[in-house]
Amino acid sequence: MDKLIRIGMDTSKSVFQLHGVNEAEQPVLRKKLRRNQVLTFFAGLAPLKVGMEACGAAHYWARELRALGHEVLLMPAQHVKPYVQRSKSDAADADATCEAMNRPRMRFVAVKSADQQAAQMLAKLRAQFIDRRTQLSNSIRGFAAEFGLIAPKGLSRLGDLLADIRADATIPDMARDMFETLARDYAHISAEVAVLDEKLLAFHRQNEVSRRLAAIPAVGPVGATLLAIKVTDA
């Protein structure tokens, strides 16, 4: 086989398509691997450049391939798409990735560490839970209004509304049971948000970027931490 200098890899959950070129930019490798074959295959190659779209588990594979001595380049998927020369397929995507990674103006994505990915997971999970808490609050308020009970805006006033619901004898038992279901769900989600906030603050205390951002007027610890995590996602 001619000496490989660059491989574009199209990744999925189970099948990985490779497209490699030599120093003359001629294709010398078109290969499909199962997931459990990837690291063994690359361990047998001399160090070279490997390109992937920065999506899915790309950061995990980038770390693993770097550990084998390869230079890994990640690219935004939208920047690779223009290089697809034929109808979309795994082989065409691998070919496009191999071509795109060699373009002088290509913008690459920094490979994230496992700790950076964990921090981003924390921020995303917190956002999802906060959205869920807001949905539950709105549901309780909406259903309560149907029985003539309202409360001022704000999560802090929801407890008063729930107390009013429990004290209103005109509300049917079935509706009362549903309100209790919503209240339990709301309490559970609120407790989870509190736990995640504690984890955010622990991250803040250990992260220099977050601490520096918190020194800016009007930027609190939580906001600084979320911004610091967002910076690693750029």
Q: What are the tens digits of pLDDT across the range 57-81?
A: 999 999 999 999 999 999 999 999 9
Q: What is the CATH number of the domain that holds 34?
A: 3.30.420.40
Same domain, 56 and 119: no
The number of distinct structural domains making up the chain is 2
Give pLDDT, residue 1: 53
List the domain range (segments joined by +) for residue 125. 114-231
Residue 109 lies in a domain: no
Q: Which of 43, 67, 100 is the last residue of a domain?
A: 100
Distances (CA, A) of 219 to 126, 143, 201, 231: 19, 36, 14, 15
Residue 105 main-chain phi, psi, to 5 deg: -100, 10
pLDDT at 182 exceeding the cut of 90: yes
Give 87's pLDDT tier (boundaries 50, 70, 90). Answer: confident
Q: Are 161 and 151 in contact (CB under 8 A)?
A: yes
